[in-house]
């Protein structure tokens, strides 16, 4: 099954629009600064099509903002319901867009990772303990290196 190619420009544009709409009513400036900073790195990744570092930094920034968005929404969501009707509608819309932005980020991270791999990045996580450096440095191999040496 082939993974569909999603344009990096579309990812940055969608997240920019959802971040702007999410910041309309209640989220603090730290939410905006964090998300717009990561989107600026996304613009850098768009501008330098052959840069592996730009797309990797964009991917890492998106992963970090998933966590910070959860914290912002959890901490700063207003619990009182005393706002006027219009303010409640704006609050609901802004909240919905912030949550939609958060829900789309894992899918965007997946597509950005695919772009990272296409650009030549090779960041594989390997948990093979038998071929790791620690298992090769056993006492047997250390003892055999000193056999026959005189000090």
pLDDT value, residue 11: 95
> 4-13, 61-70, 119-128: lowest mean pLDDT where?
119-128
Over residues 97-123, mean pLDDT: 90
pLDDT value, residue 54: 92
- The three-state (H, E, C) secondary structure of the chain, written as one string: CCCCCCCHHHHHHHHHHHHHHHCCCCCCHHHHHHHHHHHHHHHHHHHCCCCHHHHHHHHHHHHHHHHHHHHHHHHHCCCCCCCCHHHHHHHHHHHHHHHHHHHHHHHHHHHHHHHHHHCCCCCCCCCCCCCCHHHHCCHHHHHHHHCCCCC
Does the global pTM surpass 0.85?
A: no
Among 53, 35, 45, residue whose Cα is nearest residue 9 = 45
pLDDT value, residue 62: 96
pLDDT interval class at 26 (50, 70, 90): confident
């Amino acid at each position: 099954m082939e993974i569909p190619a999603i344009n990096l420009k579309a990812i940055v544009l969608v997240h920019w629009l959802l971040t702007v709409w999410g910041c309309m009513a209640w989220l603090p400036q730290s939410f905006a600064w964090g998300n717009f900073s990561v989107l600026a790195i996304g613009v850098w990744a768009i501008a330098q099509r052959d840069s592996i570092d730009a797309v990797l930094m964009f991917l890492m920034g998106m992963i970090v903002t998933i966590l910070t968005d959860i914290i912002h929404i959890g901490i700063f969501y207003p619990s009182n319901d005393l706002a006027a009707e219009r303010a409640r509608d704006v609050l609901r819309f802004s909240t919905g867009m912030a949550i939609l932005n958060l829900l789309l980020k894992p899918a965007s991270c997946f597509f950005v990772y695919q772009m990272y791999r296409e650009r030549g990045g090779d960041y594989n996580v390997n948990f093979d303990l038998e071929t790791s450096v620690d298992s090769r440095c056993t006492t047997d191999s250390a003892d055999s290196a000193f056999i026959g040496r005189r000090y």
